[in-house]
Structure 1
Amino acid sequence: MPHVVTQSCCSDASCVYACPVNCIHPTPDEPDFLTAEMLHIDPASCVDCGACISACPVDAIVPHSKLSESQQPFLTINADFYKEPRPRPVLAPVMPAPEIHRDRGPLRVAIVGAGPAAMYAADELLTQPGVQVNVFDRLPVPHGLVRAGVAPDHQKTKQVSRLYDKIAAQPGFEYFLNVEVGEHLTHDELLAHHHAVIYAVGASTDRGLGIPGEDLPGSTSATNLVAWYNGHPDHADDRFDLSHRRAVIIGNGNVALDVARILTADPDRLAATDIAPAALEALRGSRIEEVVIVARRGIAQSAFTVPEFAGLLDAPDIDVVVHPDEMVPDPTTELLARDGELSHSVAQKLSLLRSARLDGEPGHGRRRISLRYLLSPTAISGDDRVTGVEFDRNALTVGEDGGVRVESTGETERLEAGLVLTSIGYRGVPIAGVPFDHSAGVIPNADGRVLDGPGGSVLAGAYATGWIKRGPSGFIGTNKSCAQETVTKLVDDFNAGRLREPRSGAKALNRLVRERQSAVIDRAGWKLIDEAERSRGAARGRIREKITDQAELALIAGPAGRGTETTVLGRLRRRR
């Protein structure tokens, strides 16, 4: 009974090391691990031991006999990955944790950011006894994009946060949430209290289109909408006009698919999730009937991943359609397909796209998601708000090097819409006092060691991991191997005596932080917030109800909130 990976897994490779017969690939030591859209289980090698099920933090693995009808395509997706033999040892080689030399004394590290990259870095450091890790984040709650980026109807993926809570429960770990480095504390001040600082702040801004009308009301980034429906404190008061029958999303990656699915979903299906209450109420009154996802290139260059699109096709009460004239692959893709050299990922995407409906009349009472290709936006039209998007139609040509290029045909098209969302990539944001490569949108670094500028010298004691290190690529679990590389460099530098000893201790750090930010939230404070959100959610039949008011969060987590939630709510009512 082979087991099957059934969703867009987190790719942290826990299942790889749990498997006793090395039947889950690619493994972190294989060259395609960092670019793989998901992990795959070899049905011919699987011995049905169930070790991978226990190890998977997001419940993505299911025995093939228990697959639901909607999960059946993943049986083929997993098996097809092994059509070409993969040379492999009996067991996947485990990457050893970096070992700290005992004669160097206890290591103290500050990590800036509290998302997956930060938590995996903390976990790597805490494998060694005596290490102190202090995690700083400008938000009052941790877990980064797992909390504020993963769609509310993907609760299995959000389950990886349970792993992060286990990491945070280890001795030597502390949170300093609601503290912004660059405002409340400087880089130099962190270094004065730690041997090293790891920056794991992600890539929090979107790339713009750079076209007329982009600043009109009704035009914004998909990331802003995601943050709004996920209850991000910065976006709790945002408003989006959902009164027009059509919304357009520029870009067709996984975020675009998530947003389209949430905008067309039955709100009753979202009511039990952790979607923000204000967003749920707005979606109940939405008049959107169609979401159009637009890409400038062709079907073979689709940016979404296979498991995400497979999940979209299974979304109930939604028609997923493709324009028939745009279902033709480019000549290079057709040639590779004829010669049997098409990559597994592209072949699977084309197969799934062909299973979508061709454009036609929507089913009765059903909303639709339309995938459009070969269109480049040239202007967003409207006077006082968005009314539509102008496009140039493209054609795909093949250069002498075999590369596929986009060229305008001179034809144009206009789509009426009341909401336009951009989803064409992300960029990191500079932190005061920390080098930044503005062209690449990352902190310049060499394998995780921060440089004083692009191509410059190593900045002693400063490190980077995650998207701010490598750019916006990979998946949640990709940050684990990325963190391993960075932490290895840090420990090497510590063991070699290249890091300066902290000038001040833990008490001085706590005193300094609280002088600068009295509303700092520690590990115990986050636990109280977590319990309060789960309690409120349970009372309403929901997984959790996120608290978005920063003053309320600080009150629950602070000294005044070290009691029951009832006590905290009573204080809040008196304040109001």
Structure 2
Amino acid sequence: MLPWLSLRTGRSRWTSQLHDGINACGRAAFSICSPKVCIVGSGPAGFYTAQHLIKARQDVEVDIYERLPVPFGLVRFGVAPDHPEVKNVINTFTLTARNSRCSFYGNVNVGKDVSIEELQQAYHAVVLSYGAEGNRRMGVPGEDLAGVYSAKDFVGWYNGLPSCQELSPDLNCETAVILGQGNVALDVARILLAPTDILKKTDITQPALEALVQSQVRRVLIVGRRGPMQVACTIKEFREMVNLPDTRPEMMADDFEGVKEALKDLPRPRKRLTELMMKTALEIPSEKEQERQSKASRVWAFRFLRSPIEILANPDNSRTVGIRLAVNRLEGSGDGARAVPTGEVEDVTCGLLISSIGYKSLPIDPSVPFDSHKAIVPNNMGRVQHTAGLYCSGWLKTGPTGVIATTMNNSFDTARSVVEDMESGTVDVSAARPGSQSISGLLEERGVKPVTFSNWEKIDSLEMSRGEASGKPREKLLTVEEMLQVARK
């Protein structure tokens, strides 16, 4: 069947279901029908948006649609296994999901199983919060060689993201290079170098743990195109690297020439981080620290002012054996400083290369405006441009920046925009919308069986009990098929 014919048929079915929804509320009782909001994506942005909407209006009903059978997005699949405290936010999200005015529909692929247009017809407002599941490419020769991975996929592999379980990275090399100096890059470096006795007490997946036990990686270089005053990581993550057991840092003193004089003009968080990097690079460690470092079997280092030019291959061009880097200089200062190639190059031997230069959002539906250059949905305070009743929150709104607290604030802002538009009449909530009543019908016709939050709790319970049996907080199910099997018991 032609796509346009299929869509037209779906729309006519929807019309009859819409009429059913209107009749259910009663034609004379539009004013008492609840405003219905749909949120696409169940990561932090989706749940924070839902939380604020439910709190702001006592009559609003929120439905959250998620492509996977399990909720929580990057809290589950992005946060490092050895950062369990960051995952405590799941407790707050669970309270929201259990609210009588909130429903979760997992295993629903919006854009494929149901269109944005169908959601817009069924709900008063639609909020897109599906995050950034794409990779920014380096754009250099050789980046598709074996041994080259995106940080997004590598993190997904050790955190149990179903689509990354076939990754099976080859860790049979001494040196790994990570391109990028943000928190994700440091997470990856830490997981590669951390003693597995520490990791086996986390919720890292069993296949990843077994691979890391056998890993030959002993040296990790964390490479950035700019200087020490432009690194994107935070002091917490850098301090964790400094204190990581059985490792020692190899920072280069020359990288900090002239930095001390610039410290006074830096904002406090940047100043504290830079001071710690300088101390690590320039000061002689205490006797106790020297003893610890002398026994370390693994090494990590920052390399500044380097940009990738080419991934180097072995003679038969089957896998990477190194990377060619351009040596840069800085033009300007502070966060606005630009890296400019000097013409010098440097070759680094490595058998594992991980690109941590950023996630990016992808378009979900041709009907939704999308800025492919910025990889965001163009918006004003979360209101999607030129599309009344359509909103966005999280990384889809801002680009992949900040931490969970940043996402919380920007999601609350979007929720406030939704509420303001309802109260001003920009979004007309006086006429009834059928919400999940019509969408559930469409999904049933299309053979899609959603996973409810109580279904997810069956998965959660099994994962926790499996983890307890092996001394871990959780042992995740790794395939969608397994998840669905447990959810539907």
Q: Which moved more, 1:124-133 or 1:216-225?
A: 124-133
The one-letter amino acid of 1:322's match is M
Post-superposition shift, 1:307? 1.6
2:358 to 425, 435, 439: 425
Distance 2:395 2:93 in 1: 18
Q: Which amino acid aligns with 1:108?
A: K
More helix by share: 2
1:204-353 to structure 2, matched below 5 A, reads: 204-329=133-258, 335-337=261-263, 340-353=264-277
After TM superposition, give the deviation of residue 543 of structure 1 in Å. 0.2
SS in 1 for 2:143: coil
Residues 421-454 of structure 1 show CA distances to partners (whole Å, capped at 9, x for unaligned) of: 1111221100013221111100111111111xxx
The amino acid that maps onto 1:344 is R
Q: Which amino acid aligns with 1:233?
A: P
Q: Using a 3 Å threshold, how does the CA distance of structure 1 residues 517 and 327 change in structure 2: closer, same or farther? A: farther
Quote the offset at 1:187 in angstroms: 0.7
Aligned 1:531-542 pairs, distance under 5 A: 531-542=461-472
Structure 1 residue 487 displacement after superposition: 1.4
TM-score, normalization by structure 2: 0.87
Q: Secondary structure at the match of 1:268?
A: helix
Matched residue type, 2:225: R
Indicate whether 1:409 and 2:342 are aligned: yes
- The correspondence for 2:304, drawn from 373, 392, 405, is 373
User: Which structure 2 residues correspond to residues 137-152 of structure 1 after superposition, within 5 A?
Assistant: 137-152=66-81
Following TM superposition, by how much is the alpha carbon of 1:165 offset from its aligned partner in structure 2, in angstroms?
Answer: 0.8
For residue 241 of structure 1, report the CA deviation from its aligned partner: 0.7
- CA-based RMSD of the aligned residues comes to 2.2
- The whole-number CA distance in structure 1 between the counterparts of 2:228 and 2:435 is 57
TM-score by length of 1: 0.74
1:457-488 Cα offsets, whole Å, 9 max, x none, are 2x011000111011112210222221222112
1 CA distance for matches of 2:238 and 2:331? 26
In the other structure, the counterpart of 1:527 is 457
| 1:488 counterpart residue number | 416
Structure 1 residues 378, 402: closer, same or farther in 2, change over 3 A? closer
Closer, same or farther: CA 402–353 of 1 in aligned 2, 3 Å: closer
Q: Where do residues 39-118 of structure 1 align in structure 2 (5 Å cutoff)?
A: 103=31, 105-118=33-46
Is 1:356–2:290 an aligned residue pair?
no
Q: 1:381 to 1:294 in 2, by over 3 A?
A: same
2:141 alignment partner, SS class: coil
Using the TM superposition, give the Cα deviation of residue 402 of structure 1 relative to its aligned residue in structure 2, in angstroms.
11
Q: Is 2:384 aligned against 1:450? A: yes
Counterpart of 1:552, as a letter, is E
Out of 405, 428, 441, the residue aligned to residue 375 of structure 2 is 441
Q: How far did 1:403 drift?
A: 5.6
1: distance between equivalents of 2:294 and 2:335? Answer: 41
CA contact (8 A) 2:34 2:432 kept: no
Segments of structure 1 that go 5 or more residues without pairing to the other structure are 1-101, 452-456, 562-576
How do residues 425-574 of structure 1 correspond to structure 2 at under 5 angstroms? Answer: 425-432=358-365, 433-451=367-385, 457=386, 459-500=387-428, 501-558=431-488, 561=489
| Greater relative CO (CA pairs within 8 A, separation 6+) | 2
Partner residue in 2 for 1:454: none
Render the CA deviation track for 1:124-166: whole Å, top value 9, x for unaligned.
1111223211101111111111100000001111111111111
Query: Is 517-526 or 208-217 further displaced after alignment?
Result: 517-526
Residue 119 of structure 1 corresponds to: 47
SS in structure 2 opposite 1:369?
strand
| Identical amino acids, percent of aligned pairs | 38
Give secondary structure in 1 for the equivalent of 2:250.
Answer: strand
Go from structure 1 to structure 2 and tell me whether the alpha carbon gap of 1:502 and 1:263 turns closer, same or farther (over 3 Å shift).
farther
Q: How many residues align?
A: 446
The letter of the residue matching 1:424 is: I
Gap change, CA 1:363 and 1:516, over 3 Å in 2: farther
